[in-house]
Amino acid sequence: MQNLQIDGQRLWDTLMHTAQIGATPKGGICRLTLTDLDRQVRDWFKAQCEALGCAVAVDEVGAMFARRPGKNPNLAPIAMGSHLDTQPTGGRFDGVLGVLGALEAMRTLHEAGYETNAPIEIVNWTNEEGARFAPAMLASGVFAGVFSRDYAYARADRDGKTFGAELARIGYKGADKAGARQFSAMFELHIEQGPILEAEGRMIGAVQGVQGIRWYEVIVAGEAAHTGTTPMALRKNALIGAARMIERVDAIAREHAPDAVGAVGLIENKPNSRNVIPGEVFFSVDFRHPTESVLDAMEAKFRTALADVMPPLQLTYTETRIWQSPPVKFVPELIECVRIGAEKAGFKSRDMISGAGHDAAYIVRVAPTTMIFVPCAGGISHNEAESTSFDECAAGAQVLLNAVLEFDRRLG
């Protein structure tokens, strides 16, 4: 196998260039799915791939596939990629490193004139974050058969705009049927979004799998009334109910520590006026754990808490579990390729489980899949302060290329 070296400076320059598309004043990115900024970065990505001679296709839920041919067209492509959408106050590396690291690996292959056995594809998955359209990992979920295309099209943001309409508006509702493509394997490079690698002085995480995730939505209904004229004993304050549940959600996660986590991340108070008692509150809940039975127990305690908290406050509620992503295990052979790729690049790796959800968690249902982690400063992510160094980004891209080439050698 030829000793191909990625260009770390070129990768870094590309990361910093695309960070200007949706740049925030605090150094992060706000590039929500299917916005005009998302279209802008997609157009840029498509042009970069076509400049390398790649054929770019788009499926019916907007996932982008840039393919470089291999020696054997009968082999399914080896995919590498992640996502270009961000949180409202996202960082410059979450997801983006996985796509641009793959682009750098593809540029390296192109410059060297290196011909792989299998075709190589870069993938940009749509709506991984779930920040605008819930649930998360929507396009990869349709690809893997977890969601239907029509379910994805019907997802609406908080303004009532649907995924399908916005996909068409920005020109990325493709003709290819989602899930029709086959992969020999998929490798996803990502920042860890946690503190373990940095704390242990390891450059590379060989990811074994992803913990289970469940998302819920709750609407608490009370009665809007004047704050100055309504006696305390007669109030039906929906915000009080939501506040008590926020504490309960935190307590439930702490009961199952250290592996469990849980939080309320989104809350909307209505009518949200200074002198009106809140009549309705919407909030979301996110529970995560590596074991399904523990998630079952957390869910049961959450529902019991709702039933305990709301009636004494004269409140009613509706609760819906809107998303469930069970714990997954990645493919040992691909994990081995990552370990070999790290060793070849001169880096220490460690086995680890992902606490965050990723597109790879769905793709493993239909193709051999694994992930590669690199450190991020303080484990901070989903934050404009998110930071990963030049050397860490370069290391991740190099191990990605090495792992892909190791797997490609085995296909040959």
Q: pLDDT tens-digit profile of 311-354?
A: 999 999 999 999 998 999 999 999 999 999 999 999 989 999 99
Q: 188 is written with which tokens?
A: 């996803």
User: Among 73, 70, 78, 58, which residue's Cα sits nearest to residue 368?
Assistant: 78
pLDDT digits (tens, 9 = 90+) for 356-368: 889 999 999 999 9
pLDDT at residue 15, as a whole number? 98
CB-CB contact of 86 with 22 (8 Å): yes
Task: State the first-to-last Cα distance of the chain, in angstroms, to the nearest integer.
Answer: 11
Q: 283 is written with which tokens?
A: 């909030």
Tell whether 333 and 284 lie within a shared domain: no
Average pLDDT score over residue span 199-207? 96
pLDDT at residue 104, as a whole number? 98
Residues spanned by the domain of 398: 8-211+327-411
Tell whether 178 and 104 lie within a shared domain: yes
Tell whether 246 and 187 lie within a shared domain: no
Examine the pLDDT at 99 and tell me if it is beyond 90.
Answer: yes
Residue 398 CA, chain-centre distance (Å), reads 22
What lies within 8 Å, CB to CB, of 123 at 6+ separation is 63, 64, 65, 66, 79, 80, 81, 82, 99, 102, 186, 359
Tell whether 114 and 37 lie within a shared domain: yes
Tell whether 71 and 203 lie within a shared domain: yes
Tell whether 13 and 137 lie within a shared domain: yes
Tell whether 47 and 105 lie within a shared domain: yes
User: Would residue 233 count as lying in a domain?
Assistant: yes
Pairwise CA distance, residues 342 & 400, whole Å: 9
User: Would residue 310 count as lying in a domain?
Assistant: yes
What single-letter DSSP state applies at residue 76?
P
Pairwise CA distance, residues 224 & 253, whole Å: 31
User: Would residue 386 count as lying in a domain?
Assistant: yes
CB-CB contact of 287 with 298 (8 Å): yes
**Residues 36/160/83/322 CA torsion (nearest 10 deg):** 180
Average pLDDT score over residue span 115-138? 97
Q: Using 50, 70 and 90 to split pLDDT, how confident is the model at 412?
A: confident
Distances, alpha carbon 121 to alpha carbons 185, 336, 377, in Å: 10, 21, 30
Q: Look over the chain and give the mean of its residue pLDDT values, rounded to a whole number.
A: 97
Q: 28 is written with which tokens?
A: 């992060």
What lies within 8 Å, CB to CB, of 357 at 6+ separation is 136, 137, 210, 213, 325
Tell whether 101 and 12 lie within a shared domain: yes
Pairwise CA distance, residues 161 & 50, whole Å: 31
Examine the pLDDT at 1 and tell me if it is beyond 70.
Answer: no
Q: 246 is written with which tokens?
A: 């926020």
Tell whether 259 and 320 lie within a shared domain: yes
Residue 37 burial (C-beta neighbours within 10 Å; 0-12, 13-18, 19+): buried
What single-letter DSSP state applies at residue 330?
-
pLDDT at residue 3, as a whole number? 85
Percentage of the residues of the chain whose pLDDT score is greater than 90: 98
Average pLDDT score over residue span 189-213? 96
Average pLDDT score over residue span 181-205? 97
Pairwise CA distance, residues 264 & 118, whole Å: 44
Q: Quick check: helix, strand or coil at residue 77? A: coil
Examine the pLDDT at 118 and tell me if it is beyond 60.
Answer: yes
**Residues 35/215/189/79 CA torsion (nearest 10 deg):** -80
User: Would residue 171 count as lying in a domain?
Assistant: yes
In CATH, what number is assigned to the domain containing residue 284? Answer: 3.30.70.360
Give the residue from 294, 325, 356 where a domain finishes: 325
Into how many domains does the chain fold? 2
Q: Using 50, 70 and 90 to split pLDDT, how confident is the model at 2?
A: low
pLDDT at residue 56, as a whole number? 98
Pairwise CA distance, residues 75 & 412, whole Å: 9
Q: Using 50, 70 and 90 to split pLDDT, how confident is the model at 111?
A: very high
Tell whether 165 and 92 lie within a shared domain: yes
User: Would residue 2 count as lying in a domain?
Assistant: no
pLDDT at residue 21, as a whole number? 98
Phi-psi map region of 28: left, alpha, beta (phi>0 left; psi -120 to 50 alpha): beta
